[in-house]
């Protein structure tokens, strides 16, 4: 029911999928010249070691001893658990396994990269990190990681989440972080959006622009990103590498691997070490990336070069995108409200190695409630998307009478999302789906391949 690893079984290396992609990754472009970016351009913004990892094609990259020790403090190795009660309830012949990334003190997988980034920043003498946060999971993880390595941090939190989730803000402040609602008065880009709408709900795209501006206008400050980029996905592979060892212990191998996708980091974390097997040995494992219907990056977006932020400050990334001006509806899965997705994952979707699914908010909470009632764990609204897909796969296995092994990433718990659960229980939850006109307009903002 529960497969545990010893502390000394935490992997020594992260896995870098850039060494095994079926095609080379299209490079990030300088938005002015539309030519490939020089990695030196990134060094003013990001911690240097992260820039090195961003462009590295080395297959395995060593996890520093200090990072492995910090991983132990935050609960690694995490358990791999089997959802036997859920299986019984669904009358499925399938086995459902899930990886417990919710055991981290801040409640999600995000500490896996926050710790690595804070450690490298500390080593390089950086004094402060700026970042954005949506639901607050990333901000919480970076607040914890920066206090572990004696750094300061400033977090731009999308205003809708800042108002919906006051306890997330308090958690970050306990760890010593400065937390501002975005758009804020702290940056010129924030003031511009506030002028347009004093009650602007904010978006991850705007918050990224603010955190970048803050970084660029202060020496000793670097910017830190919680998803999308290669080095972030790299750090998350500790999840899948542990899971592989856990499956080896019980002589199992997953037939289906599922994760929810905001920027793609927890999906990549659990999936990429297994995707290597699919690319190299042509294993028949299916990979399913799950997104909300309200932000249909893969299912309705374009595979094209686009900005990573709304303020048009970032390099252009070749990715699936619904357009950088897209105003996502205020769904409770704040971590899934990003307009784009990681370039490596986008390429794998484009090449057909990863399949995609999209769900509405109400069906996702229904699945989360069933999971909570059967397994006793309350999923984060983001995670609930993966739960929904796992349940669908288990039902499919029942209909086909197949004994499949299903694996999904339990990316985080929902203890800070009880307001969303309250709305669901009281039947007040909005079922945002697409207003086609709105997405058509935002798709036009995509900066196409030159
Ligand atoms: C942030 C977050 C996500 C989405 O981000 P990815 O980079 O796509 O993983 C998913 N689940 C939880 C619990 C999160 O905090």
151: CATH:
3.40.50.1100
Task: With beta carbons less than 8 A apart as the criterion, state whether 210 and 185 touch.
Answer: no
Q: Which H or E element spans position 306? A: strand 302-307
Could you write out the DSSP letters of every residue in 90-112?
HT-SSEEEEEEGGGSTTSBTTHH
Whether residues 218 and 331 share a domain: the answer is: no
Distance, CA of 177 to CA of 154 (rounded, Å): 6
Distance, CA of 206 to CA of 134 (rounded, Å): 11
Distance, CA of 320 to CA of 343 (rounded, Å): 8
Whether residues 214 and 295 share a domain: the answer is: no
Give the residue, by CA position, lying nearest to ligand 1 atom 15.
137
Task: With beta carbons less than 8 A apart as the criterion, state whether 371 and 408 touch.
Answer: no
Q: Which two tokens stand for residue 216?
A: 């660029």
Helix axes 137-148, 166-174, angle to 10 degrees: 10
Q: E strands, 73-217, where?
A: 80-82, 95-100, 128-133, 152-158, 178-182
Domain count, the chain: 2
Whether residues 273 and 392 share a domain: the answer is: yes
Whether residues 86 and 45 share a domain: the answer is: no
Is 68 contained in some domain? no
Distance, CA of 258 to CA of 387 (rounded, Å): 9
Our mutation pick for probing the ligand 1 site, out of 135, 335, 337, 356, counting the most ligand atoms within 8 A of Cβ, is 335
Residues contacting 433, CB < 8 A, separation 6+: 293, 294, 360
Q: Which two tokens stand for residue 250?
A: 């019980």
Give residue 165's pLDDT: 83
Atom of ligand 1 nearest to the CA of 336: 4
Could you write out the DSSP letters of every residue in 247-260?
HHHTT---SEEEEE
Is 130 contained in some domain? yes
Give residue 149's pLDDT: 98
Q: Which two tokens stand for residue 73?
A: 């403090």
Classify 375 as helix, strand or coil.
helix
Radius of gyration for the alpha carbons in the chain, expressed in angstroms and rounded: 20
Task: With beta carbons less than 8 A apart as the criterion, state whether 148 and 73 touch.
Answer: yes
Domain that holds residue 368: 75-107+236-437
The rounded Å distance from CA 368 to ligand 1 centre is 16
Whether residues 282 and 219 share a domain: the answer is: no
Give residue 259's pLDDT: 98
Task: With beta carbons less than 8 A apart as the criterion, state whether 273 and 59 touch.
Answer: no
Is 5 contained in some domain? no
The residue whose two tokens read 């349940």 is: 391
Q: Is 297 left (phi over 0), alpha (psi -120 to 50) or beta?
A: alpha
Give residue 128's pLDDT: 98
Our mutation pick for probing the ligand 1 site, out of 101, 165, 345, 412, counting the most ligand atoms within 8 A of Cβ, is 412
Distance, CA of 316 to CA of 448 (rounded, Å): 10
Atom of ligand 1 nearest to the CA of 383: 11
Give residue 134's pLDDT: 85
Task: With beta carbons less than 8 A apart as the criterion, state whether 167 and 196 touch.
Answer: no
Whether residues 51 and 126 share a domain: the answer is: yes
Whether residues 374 and 433 share a domain: the answer is: yes
Task: With beta carbons less than 8 A apart as the criterion, state whether 80 and 100 touch.
Answer: yes
Report the pocket of ligand 1 as residue ranges, CB < 6 Å.
Answer: 108, 110, 137-138, 227, 260-267, 335-336, 380, 382-383, 411-412
Q: Which two tokens stand for residue 372?
A: 């909570």
Give the residue, by CA position, lying nearest to ligand 1 atom 10.
382
Q: Taking the CB of residue 69, how many other CB atoms lie within 10 A of it?
A: 14
Atom of ligand 1 nearest to the CA of 269: 9
The rounded Å distance from CA 271 to ligand 1 centre is 14
Distance, CA of 269 to CA of 409 (rounded, Å): 9
Is 4 contained in some domain? no
Classify 303 as helix, strand or coil.
strand
The residue whose two tokens read 């609204």 is: 381
Pairing of strands 355-359, 316-321: unpaired
Is 128 contained in some domain? yes
Residues contacting 427, CB < 8 A, separation 6+: none
The residue whose two tokens read 């660029």 is: 216
* Distances in whole angstroms, Cα of residue 166 to Cα of each of 94, 150, 402: 40, 25, 45
Is 401 contained in some domain? yes
Report the candidate in 132, 135, 140 with the shortest Cα–Cα distance to residue 114: 140
Whether residues 114 and 259 share a domain: the answer is: no
The rounded Å distance from CA 265 to ligand 1 centre is 7
Whether residues 97 and 124 share a domain: the answer is: no
pLDDT string in tens for the chain (450-residue length) = 999 999 999 999 999 999 999 999 999 999 888 899 988 889 999 999 999 999 999 999 999 999 999 999 999 999 999 999 999 999 999 999 999 999 999 999 999 999 999 999 999 999 999 999 988 999 999 999 999 999 999 999 999 889 988 899 999 999 999 999 999 999 999 999 999 999 998 888 889 999 999 999 999 999 999 999 999 999 999 999 999 999 999 999 999 999 999 999 999 999 999 999 999 988 999 999 999 999 999 999 999 999 998 888 899 999 999 999 998 888 888 889 889 999 999 999 999 999 999 999 999 999 999 999 999 999 999 999 999 999 999 999 999 999 999 999 999 999 999 999 999 999 999 888 765 667 888 898 888 764
Q: Which H or E element spans position 13? A: strand 13-15
Report the candidate in 320, 286, 298 with the shortest Cα–Cα distance to residue 407: 286
Whether residues 121 and 103 share a domain: the answer is: no
Q: Which two tokens stand for residue 332?
A: 């409770």
Is 446 contained in some domain? no
Is 2 contained in some domain? no
Of 199, 230, 261, which residue is a domain's last? 230
Report the candidate in 59, 63, 52 with the shortest Cα–Cα distance to residue 18: 59
Of 230, 263, 283, which residue is a domain's last? 230
Of 171, 206, 230, which residue is a domain's last? 230
Whether residues 348 and 429 share a domain: the answer is: yes
The rounded Å distance from CA 411 to ligand 1 centre is 7
In a 10 Å sphere around its CB, with 0-12 CB exposed, 13-18 middle and 19+ buried, how is residue 293 labelled? Answer: buried
Whether residues 157 and 214 share a domain: the answer is: yes
Report the candidate in 208, 393, 368, 364 with the shortest Cα–Cα distance to residue 292: 364
Give residue 39's pLDDT: 84
The rounded Å distance from CA 374 to ligand 1 centre is 23
């Amino acid at each position: 029911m529960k497969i545990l690893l010893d502390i000394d079984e935490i992997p020594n290396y992260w896995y870098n999928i850039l060494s095994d992609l079926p095609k080379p990754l299209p490079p990030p472009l300088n938005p002015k010249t539309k030519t490939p970016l020089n990695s030196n351009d990134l060094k003013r913004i990001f911690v240097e070691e992260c820039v090195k990892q961003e462009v590295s094609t080395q297959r395995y990259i060593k996890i520093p001893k200090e990072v492995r020790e910090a991983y132990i403090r935050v609960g690694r190795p995490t358990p791999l658990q089997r959802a036997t009660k859920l299986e019984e309830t669904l009358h499925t012949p399938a086995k459902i396994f899930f990886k417990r990334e919710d055991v981290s003190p801040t409640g999600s997988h995000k500490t896996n990269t926050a710790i690595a980034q804070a450690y490298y920043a500390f080593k390089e003498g950086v004094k402060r990190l700026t970042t954005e946060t949506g639901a607050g999971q990333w901000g919480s993880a970076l607040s914890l990681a920066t206090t572990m390595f004696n750094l300061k941090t400033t977090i731009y939190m999308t205003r809708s989440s800042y108002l919906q989730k006051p306890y997330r803000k308090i958690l970050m402040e306990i760890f010593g972080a400065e937390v501002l609602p975005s758009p804020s008065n702290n940056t010129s880009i924030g003031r511009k959006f506030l002028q347009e709408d004093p009650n602007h709900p904010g978006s991850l795209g705007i918050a990224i622009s603010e955190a970048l501006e803050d970084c660029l206008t202060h020496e000793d400050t670097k910017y830190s990103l919680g998803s999308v980029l290669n080095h972030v996905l790299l750090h998350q592979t500790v999840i899948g590498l542990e899971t592989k060892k856990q499956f080896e212990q019980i002589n199992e191998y997953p037939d289906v691997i599922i994760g929810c996708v905001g920027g793609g980091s927890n999906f990549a974390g659990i999936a990429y070490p297994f995707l290597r097997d699919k690319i190299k040995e042509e294993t028949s494992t299916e990979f399913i990336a799950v997104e909300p219907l309200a932000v249909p990056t893969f299912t309705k977006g374009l595979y094209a070069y686009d900005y990573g932020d709304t303020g048009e400050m970032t390099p252009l990334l070749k990715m699936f995108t619904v357009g950088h001006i897209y105003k996502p509806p205020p769904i409770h899965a704040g971590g899934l409200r990003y307009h784009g997705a990681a370039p490596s994952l986008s390429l794998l979707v484009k090449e057909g190695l990863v399949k995609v699914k999209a769900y509405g908010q109400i069906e996702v909470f229904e699945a989360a409630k069933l999971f909570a009632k059967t397994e006793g764990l309350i999923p984060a609204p983001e995670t609930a998307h993966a739960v929904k897909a796992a349940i669908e796969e288990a039902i499919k296995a029942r209909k086909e009478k197949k004994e499949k092994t299903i694996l999904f990433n339990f990316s985080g718990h929902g203890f800070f999302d009880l307001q969303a659960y309250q709305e669901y229980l009281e039947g007040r939850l909005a079922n945002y789906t697409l207003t086609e006109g709105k997405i058509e307009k935002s798709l036009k903002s995509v900066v196409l391949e030159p």
